[in-house]
Amino acid sequence: MEREVDGLGSMLSIWAHPDDETFLAGGVMGLARDRGQPVVCVSATAGEHGTDDPVTWPPDRLGALRRDESAAAMRILGVDDHRWLDYEDGTLAGVDREEGIGRVVELLEEVRPDTILTFGADGMTFHPDHMTIHWWVRDAWERRGRPGRLLCAAVEAEVLERQRDVLETWGVYMTEQRPAAVPARDLALHLTLDGAILDRKLAALDAMPSQIEPSLARLSREQFREVNRVESFAGG
């Protein structure tokens, strides 16, 4: 597992909301930082609309909380360069596409990563913000001549089959669509986390209770641990 992460070099990890990066790439980023590899993590929004109780948690209050929670999670993972694009949660699909692509081009030119981590075209959950980030990143990468290696979060076929009922109980999907499973042989990176790095990823998730407590209201601790054990990426 460590050798696979070694080969990724420096990383630019780009996501829509704080917690996306920890759910989908917390183990990868934590292992990379342990081995001295630079990691720049970028959140396009503060996730300020990510609540079922907007009266208790109006956007200004929730956004500030989620930034603080994210900072705590990043400290646990060892990521000391976390940036914000400061877009409004839930609006990315309506942002001028050229503007969004341009923001990512600027990041690629500054950071010059060996590896870029982001969503696949389905956004994992079909969230419009997630899918928009995928296309901003892919288009920016193409325009820059495909610098580095683009890795897009994916679901490995065996994992999807094993965790299907848990994912449905969790209620992560935004539409009736479901992600296409990718055979293990077709994945560019497939990590099964255990021991200290899995514990660290879960601790980072626990540092974001505004998002994690609703999940744990639906899943047992063991189910939550198992569904977050695997991180898989397909090549861009």
Contact 114, 149 (CB under 8 A): yes
Torsion sign (Cα): 217, 218, 220, 222? negative
Separation of alpha carbons 19 and 21, rounded Å? 5
The percent of residues in the chain predicted with pLDDT above 70, rounded, is 99
Q: Alpha helices, DSSP H only, in the chain?
A: 2-6, 20-34, 59-77, 97-111, 128-143, 157-170, 195-206, 209-216, 221-227
Torsion sign (Cα): 104, 147, 13, 228? positive
pLDDT at residue 1 in the model: 67
pLDDT at residue 2 in the model: 63
The string of pLDDT tens digits covering residues 152-193 is: 999 999 999 999 999 999 999 999 999 999 999 999 999 999
Residues in the chain with pLDDT values less than 50: none
pLDDT at residue 236 in the model: 77
Separation of alpha carbons 19 and 24, rounded Å? 9
Please name each of the domains of the chain with its CATH number: 2-235 (3.40.50.10320)
